[in-house]
A and B are shown apart, each in its own frame.
Chain A
Amino acid sequence: MNRFSYLRASDVGEVVSALKDAPAAKIIAGGTNLVDLMKYNVERPERLIDITHVEALQEIIEGENGSLRIGALVSNSALAYDARVTERFPLLSSALLAGATPQLRNAATVGGNINQRTRCYYFYDAGTPCNKREPGTGCPAKTGLNRIHAILGQSEACIATHPSDMCVAMAALEAVVHVTGPDGERDIPFADYHRLPGDTPQKDNTLLDGEVVTGITLPASSTQFSANYTYLKLRDRLSYAFALVSVAVALEKEGDTVKRARIALGGVAHKPWRRAEAEALFEGKAADSGLFARVADALIDGARGYEHNAFKIRMAREAIIRALEQASAGTPQSNIDKHIV
């Protein structure tokens, strides 16, 4: 861990001006990922800007027609157990509770969660090459250990995945990310927030230099998914493990037919994985197993595996089908009983 200076910011304006003064600064809130990365010498910020005392980012604010604006500092636990969230956006609550451990969820924030970094072994180990950590050094995962790596949207430069559970649900719920920077505020649709690695895997997202995430809005339209949803997470042990594959499904049903479907995958790509054409297969059709399989095939079409992760292609297909069955039947996966129905 390197030496750094520390600034406690009291409002968003101060955060933005501090970022302007010190471009290599890092924002710290819960610190559940950043502190680890600093211990491993993966992140070496010259300055830490502590935003935990910025009052404006602490709240969940009611919007129109049931939408919620969630401050960047709301903890994962507070969000998961907020009655408005469990009622209107239970998919989000479920995804949050599938992640990490109670201790981590108590400390981790919404803003930190969307900015958390990959769990690729090589990224974390400064004794090895990694294009994401040190651009141009190479990607040993492609010919090394790639069991937990991407099968969709990866590039020659990087096959890392985004590790968040929360973000998979946010993607399906079509949340909007609010950021503030030197040029003022802007909104980023969730699908555009994270990015595929391409030739610049060092960039996880589309946040510009000097910008800070202030909050996320869950849109009113996504409250329609509260009856038919599930977050199904498959992992190597039943708790405290990152997803090999996870599936967030949000359906709006009318009788047996599906009016609207949103499906996002975790653990398979550099960002939560959605495909509009796969979701479109659903709309207006009766939910049945044949349709589920076609949707699954469309969602993972073109998937490519490596020596150790090819199994994730088949696993993803099965998981999508199972998750669609759960959501369609209105029997979401429980995070307490680990038994998958």
Chain B
Amino acid sequence: MLRNERNFGSPRDRVDGRAKVTGAAQYAAEFNAPDLLHGYVVSSTIAKGRITSIDTQKALDVPGVLKVFTHDNRPATAWFSSSYQDEVAPPGTPFRPLYDEQIYYSGQPIALVVAESFDVARYAASLVEATYEAGAHETDLKLARAAAYVPPKKRQGMKPPASKGDAMAAYAKAPLRIANDYSIANEHHNPMEPHASTVIFEAGGKLTIHDKIQGVMNTQSYVSGVFGLPASDIHVVSPFVGGGFGSGLRPQYQLFLAVMAALDLKRSVRVEMTRDQMFTFTHRPETINTVLLGADKTGRLSALRHQAVAVTSRFEDYQEVVVNWSGILYDAENKQFDYRIAKVDTYTPGDMRAPGAPLGTFAIESAMDELAYAGNIDPLELRLRNYSTRDETTNKEFTSKELRACFQLGAEKFGWSRRSPAPRSMREGRELIGWGMASGCWEAQFSKTSAKAVLTSDGRLEVGTATADIGTGTYTILTQIGADALGLDMEQVTAKLADTTLPKSPVEGGSWTAASAGTAVQMACEALKKTLLQEAQKIEGSPLADAKYEDVVFANGRIAMADDAGRSLDLSDVVRHSGQSEIEEQATAQPDSKVQAQYAAYTHSAVFVEVRVDEQLGLVRIPRIVNAVAAGRIINPKTARSQVTGGTVWGIGMALHEESLTDHNLGRFMNHNLAEYHVPANADIYDIDVIFVPEEDDKVSPIGVKGLGEIGIVATPAAIANAIFHATGKRIRELPITIDKVLREAA
């Protein structure tokens, strides 16, 4: 049957856009229930030690306060720490809120005040007094790294790349050599919507939970495991997520506290985090890379060693892919990789947009830039000379790799050929101009996902899967795929997401949702169409009685013979004649294990940046960026562009602004608000040009889609740092590149 692609590949407005801008879209803290109670969290002020006493009487005396939960009086929950594991938990012992008197990090929740109103709860929380016996804490990676270790148990999906040859020996002999450290600060996700859970206590003790989460199934299984409830008693509905970026992959402590209070008080409870408390759970881990490169005089790599050490918590071994990217982007005869983690007294770090990738890529792509200058080779040319044609880290062919096209189209658009090679050689007025570039990749993943497709008697299609739309456009692309499959207008299609009654899906993350959920919806629609044809053929005197599936088309709300449009039936008539109110089919999309065994799948990008640097004042502006991306087929160029633009902006933030400042004396993040934790403001963003290079890939996923939530950020920080070097001749190897660093390096 011919593939109808009226919507696939075309720019389409967000189907949920109107609901979002008019306030009709409901977020976790916006659901209400009769007699809803409000919980407010009290946070620890020390980083390590134990609570010696906690006085809640003054809080309890406030009219309207129902209960103050602490480790002293909390209800019993699951005994084994393994019951607190969630779908994406790293190896270790998950944090258990209010478990006992131990303090593991500054900002740890130590009490929950539950009251009839938010304001009363907040006031009463200020009256809770804790006394502590403080222990000696460590939050500084520079000191903690002395005890860094290779994580004994690998996080699911972690594939340490194999070393080959003798990198150090090859390095020692290489005519061109680079060896440096590259570090990236801790960062917090700070989605616009703070984390919140509204737990509605239903008749019979069942719970309906509206949670800020990137996967409702994860919330359901976590609550089931911790509180011993059957999954059937836990209905999680989170239709809108106001940004996740990874912070909503794991259930966070406000969920635990809200469920605990609801079950104990047998009332509906909401717990919202304050913006300050958004700095009291997961974050991107501070990471120090060490990269050694050895190359011949033409820049051809003979030695590549990439080591990294990153922070984790005392209780879990968080891990992310940091060093692999070097080996995927470049081939060298001799390679060595090493990834370690070091324990500090903070909460467990977690996945944050393209976890690990911009950190390792900042290191390798800065080092490659340094090698380019050392060898007097154009940075783009150097990358072409070392271009990998297969993934040597896993010894697999790529399903597709159009990075060369990214280089070519990006460079053309940017005007790279007009670059003057020497640092400090371009200037306008008081500003030095720098042109830098970098490349990057992100794994194109595919996860087992189920979906349903339902045709109702009024001829409307509903497609659904439990995954989330965290702002990426999932509702829209699934509507496009459904509409194309059934030959309907998008207005006749509704996408349903983020409800545990829908077919199962993993968390929304890793850029796998478009490919996985998209394929599942496509498959469910195909199954639905076959059923519809069968039902159509049951109709007495059906004009399609002898039609084969291959011979019909679905268009304009009808099934018709492809070669004879006159022989057709209205879809709503087919449903009516079936005797059912609607016809539903489900399907499950799974990765093809044979393809996965043979091929490695990645999205790629090439980023070109112009910076302007006022050297005297230390100021950096970024007037333009070209980000050229190869990500398979693009379902919706409009939402896709938003994704890559957003990632690029975040890359600017990582390069110039973002840093969770730690007072190591106190063991505490101190800039815990959006006035002092800087992300780029509108004024910092000038022109960002996104190019999608054509990339056909029939192996990566049945719909040829790779996903692109992450790739936008990956190479951007490195390209900016490289542009700053080109402008100033100063190589800054610590992100963010704040004014003081630009001035310091100039001294």
Contacts and interface: CB of A to CB of B under 8 A. Distances in A.
A1 B672 contact: no
A143 B617 contact: no
B621 A238 contact: yes
B678 A122 contact: no
Contacts of B126: 1-2, 41
Contact of B680 (A119, A144, A237, A242): A237
A234 interface: yes
Contact of B738 (A121, A127, A236, A340): A236
A145 B663 contact: yes
B491 interface: no
Nearest to A100: B675
Interface string B731-747: 00000001110011001
A109 B747 CA distance: 41
Contacts of B682: 239
Given A2-B126, A127-B45, A236-B738, A341 B666 contact: no
A314 B123 CA distance: 45
B743 A314 contact: yes
Nearest to B661: A145
B666 A1 contact: no
B670 to A, nearest CB: 4
B676 A238 contact: no
A341 B429 contact: yes
A236 B122 contact: no
A242 B681 CA distance: 13
Contacts, number: 107
A155 B176 CA distance: 52
B119 interface: yes
Interface in A77-126: 119, 121-122, 124-125
Given A315-B739, A340-B430, A237 B122 contact: no
A244 B683 CA distance: 17
A338 to B, nearest CB: 5
A322 B615 CA distance: 12
Contacts of B429: 341
B73 interface: no
The interface size bin for chain B is: 35 or more
Chain A residues touching B, majority SS: loop
Interface string A273-291: 0000000000000000000
A140 B666 contact: yes
B614 interface: yes
Contact of A143 (B657, B665, B670, B738): B665
B453 to A, nearest CB: 44
Nearest to A242: B675
B182 to A, nearest CB: 21
Contacts of B241: none
Nearest to B46: A127
B686 to A, nearest CB: 10
Contacts of A147: 661, 740
B163 interface: no
B66 to A, nearest CB: 18
A304 B681 CA distance: 31
B462 to A, nearest CB: 40
A318 B617 contact: yes
A148 to B, nearest CB: 8
Contact of B43 (A1, A122, A127, A338): A127
Contacts of A128: 45, 663, 666, 668, 670
Given A119-B675, A144-B665, A239-B684, A311 B744 contact: yes
A237 B430 contact: no
Contacts of A294: none
Nearest to B682: A239
A207 interface: no
A119 B663 CA distance: 16
A237 B663 contact: no
Nearest to B674: A240
14 contacts: A2-B123, A2-B126, A41-B126, A119-B675, A121-B663, A122-B670, A140-B663, A140-B665, A144-B663, A237-B684, A314-B743, A319-B617, A339-B612, A340-B614
Given A127-B668, A237-B678, A340-B617, 10 more contacts: A1-B123, A125-B672, A128-B670, A144-B665, A144-B666, A236-B657, A308-B740, A311-B743, A315-B618, A340-B614
